[in-house]
């Protein structure tokens, strides 16, 4: 079970220190893999503080070139050098605010893989596409266009845009249908099985409901990952869920 904590552009040194203090006392189950995605500038800080804690660290994005004149960007190899194992690619916020295209996202994933990072490629429809019945087709195109030519380990995060930060989550049947579809599309293109995470308003109250859906292999948590108490409650529920399987 994979729990990804995407801090986005939040937290500072003081709050990260406090966060880690609580993590230190947490008994991690071997069935649970927690990965924190801090703002890029805090990756090294978090990595130093969590040396003896069994969590992973990841980048929130990487550039679609390996190096060069790209002011303000971060390369996959720099993320790796500073201890990252994973990288989120193509988050809807970057697609919208940074105008990232499927073509760029595919290149980002390829550079991530080249630097030994495991990409988590984000896909998700907006409300209009969901309401018009176009969600499945839209996600199929996103995957077809973004999937790297070659990969060993890769995850897809299904994050409906209308669910991010809104407190609304899709019906269990909608998540089930989408995750099954995503796995089938990736398999048909690559002959590989991938894990599919669900993201969008995941919290302590709805985590059990989400994890009980077939083909949900973990979650990508935004807002509820910023408070250690909420994140650990999510981890605790996930472990409980695994025990009940």
Residues that bind ligand 13P (CB under 6 A): 6, 91, 159, 164-165, 199-202, 220-224
**Is 171 an active-site residue?**
no
Shortest distance, position 94 Cβ to ligand 13P, whole Å: 10
| CB closer to ligand 13P, 174 vs 192 | 174
CA nearest neighbour of 109 among 159, 63, 60, 162: 63
Shortest reach from residue 40's CB to ligand 13P, in Å: 15
Shortest reach from residue 148's CB to ligand 13P, in Å: 20
Specify the residue, 69 or 178, whose C-beta has the smaller distance to ligand 13P: 178
CA dihedral 171, 177, 178, 183 (to 10 degrees): 150
Q: Decide whether 77 or 236 has the Cβ nearer to ligand 13P.
A: 236
Element (H, E) at 88: strand 86-89
Pairing of strands 155-158, 195-199: parallel
Our measurement of the distance from residue 150's CA atom to the centroid of its chain's CA atoms, rounded to an integer in Å, reads: 20
| Segment holding 81, helix H or strand E | helix 76-81
Whichever of 60 and 215 has its CB closer to ligand 13P, that residue is: 60
> Left, alpha or beta for 6 (phi > 0: left; psi -120 to 50: alpha)?
beta
Task: Name the active-site residue from 63, 64, 91, 179.
Answer: 91
In the complex, what is the shortest distance from the CB of residue 96 to ligand 13P, in angstroms, rounded to a whole number? 11
Candidates 93, 100, 159, 179; catalytic one: 159
CA torsion sign for 95, 197, 211, 205 is negative
Quick check: is 81 catalytic? no
Which pair of tokens denotes residue 222?
Answer: 């935004």
Catalytic residue list: 91, 159
């Amino acid at each position: 079970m994979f729990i990804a904590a995407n801090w986005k552009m939040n937290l500072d040194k003081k709050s990260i220190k406090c966060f880690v203090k609580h993590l230190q006392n947490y008994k991690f189950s071997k069935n649970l893999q927690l990965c924190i995605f801090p703002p890029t500038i805090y990756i090294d800080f978090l990595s130093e503080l969590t040396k003896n804690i069994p969590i992973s660290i990841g980048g929130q994005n990487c550039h679609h070139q390996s190096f060069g004149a790209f002011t303000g960007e971060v390369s996959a190899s720099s993320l790796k050098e500073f201890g990252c194992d994973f990288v989120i690619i193509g988050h809807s916020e970057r697609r919208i605010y940074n105008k990232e295209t499927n073509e760029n996202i595919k290149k980002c994933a390829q550079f991530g893989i080249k630097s030994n990072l495991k990409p988590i490629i984000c896909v998700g429809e907006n409300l209009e596409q969901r309401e018009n019945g176009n969600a499945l087709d839209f996600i199929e195109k996103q995957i077809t266009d973004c999937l790297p030519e070659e990969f060993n380990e890769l995850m897809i995060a299904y994050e409906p845009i209308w669910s991010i930060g809104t407190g609304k989550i899709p019906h269990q049947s909608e998540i089930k249908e989408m995750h099954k579809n995503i796995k089938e599309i990736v398999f048909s293109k690559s002959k590989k099985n991938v894990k599919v995470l669900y993201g969008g308003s995941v919290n302590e109250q709805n985590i059990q409901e989400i994890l009980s859906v077939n083909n949900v292999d973990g979650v990508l948590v935004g807002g509820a990952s910023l408070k250690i108490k909420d994140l650990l409650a999510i981890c605790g529920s996930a472990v409980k869920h695994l025990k009940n399987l």
